[in-house]
C-alpha cells in the first residue's frame, strides 16, 4: 500500500504540475507523512523533488531567464538554508506535547505543529478564487526569494510562493517553466545540504527502494507532462489538493498522524 500511494501520487503530481511550476512537493509531502515522521517526510520529498527537478531542468533549460533565476534563486538558496536549519533543530529538540484525544494518548512534536499550521494556511490560499489571486511586483524578486526559500526549507512548500513571485516577472510560458525549475534547483540543493544530517540520523529507517520508485514515478509523470499537458489550468485539482492538505494538517496538529 505504501508503494502504491506514494508512487501514484508522485507520478500524478509530476504530470499535473509540469507547466504550473508547483505541486509535486505539495502533493507528495502529505503522502510521505502518512507513513513517516514529518521531518523525514520533508527530507524524502526534497530528494524526489530535487532529482525530478534536475530531469525537468534538462528538458527545458534552454528557456531559462538567467537574470530572474539569479535574482530570485540565490536569495532563495539562503532562505532555504535558514528554513532547513530550523526544521532540523525543531526535529532534534526532543520537545513533545502529550495529551489524550477521544480516549487515545497522542503526542505532537514541534515539526508536526509548525508544518501542520503552514499546511493549513497554504490550503486556505488554494481555496481562494482564482480571480482573487495577484502576483507580486517584479521588484520583490529578491525578498520573495528569501521568503520562498525559507518555507521551502522548513516545510517543502515553496512552489506556489515561487509561482506567485514569478507571475509578474515578464516571462513567457517556456521561460516561466524553465526559470521556475532553475530556482527550485537552487532551493532543493541548498536545503538538502542541511537535511544531510537528518537523513544520516534516520539512515537505517529509510526505505531507499521506495525512494527510488517514487523518483522513477515522478520522472515518468514529467515526461507525460511535457508531451500532453501544454495547457493545464486545473481549479478542480487545486481544490482537491487543498482538501488533502487540510486533512493532513489537522492530522499533524492533533497528533493523529
Q: pLDDT-derived band of residue 238, with 50, 70 and 90 as boundaries?
A: low
Question: 24: closest CA among 4, 41, 42, 9?
Answer: 9
User: What is the reported pLDDT for 82?
Assistant: 93
User: What is the reported pLDDT for 29?
Assistant: 77
Question: What integer is the mean pLDDT of 133-143?
Answer: 68
Question: What integer is the mean pLDDT of 114-125?
Answer: 76
Counting every residue written for the chain, the total comes to 257
Q: pLDDT-derived band of residue 21, with 50, 70 and 90 as boundaries?
A: low
**Percentage of the chain exceeding pLDDT 70:** 76
**pLDDT surpasses 60 at 203:** no
Mean pLDDT of the residues in the chain = 77
- Alpha-carbon 66 to chain mean position: 23
User: What is the reported pLDDT for 105?
Assistant: 73
Q: Is the dihedral of CA 186, 155, 163, 143 positive or negative?
A: negative
Question: What integer is the mean pLDDT of 188-209?
Answer: 74
Amino acid at each position: 500500500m505504501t508503494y502504491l500511494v506514494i508512487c501514484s501520487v508522485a507520478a500524478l503530481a509530476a504530470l499535473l504540475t509540469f507547466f504550473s511550476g508547483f505541486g509535486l512537493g505539495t502533493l507528495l509531502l502529505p503522502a510521505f507523512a502518512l507513513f513517516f515522521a514529518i521531518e523525514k517526510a520533508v527530507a524524502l520529498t526534497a530528494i524526489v523533488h530535487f532529482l525530478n527537478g534536475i530531469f525537468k531542468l534538462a528538458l527545458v533549460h534552454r528557456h531559462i531567464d538567467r537574470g530572474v533565476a539569479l535574482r530570485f534563486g540565490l536569495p532563495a538558496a539562503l532562505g532555504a538554508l535558514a528554513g532547513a536549519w530550523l526544521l532540523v533543530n525543531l526535529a532534534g529538540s526532543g520537545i513533545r506535547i502529550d495529551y489524550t484525544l477521544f480516549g487515545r494518548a497522542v503526542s505532537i512534536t514541534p515539526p508536526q505543529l509548525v508544518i501542520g499550521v503552514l499546511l493549513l494556511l497554504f490550503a486556505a490560499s488554494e481555496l481562494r478564487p482564482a480571480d482573487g489571486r495577484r502576483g507580486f511586483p517584479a521588484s520583490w524578486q529578491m525578498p520573495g526569494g528569501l521568503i520562498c526559500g525559507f518555507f521551502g526549507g522548513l516545510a517543502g512548500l515553496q512552489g506556489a510562493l515561487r509561482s506567485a513571485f514569478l507571475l509578474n516577472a515578464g516571462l513567457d510560458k517556456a521561460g516561466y517553466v524553465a526559470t521556475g525549475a532553475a530556482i527550485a534547483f537552487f532551493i532543493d540543493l541548498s536545503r538538502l545540504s542541511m537535511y544531510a544530517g537528518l537523513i544520516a540520523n534516520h539512515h537505517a529507517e529509510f526505505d531507499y527502494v521506495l525512494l527510488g520508485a517514487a523518483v522513477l514515478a515522478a520522472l515518468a509523470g514529467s515526461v507525460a507532462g511535457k508531451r500532453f499537458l501544454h495547457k493545464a489550468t486545473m481549479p478542480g485539482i487545486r481544490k482537491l489538493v487543498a482538501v488533502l492538505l487540510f486533512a493532513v494538517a489537522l492530522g499533524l496538529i492533533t497528533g493523529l498522524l
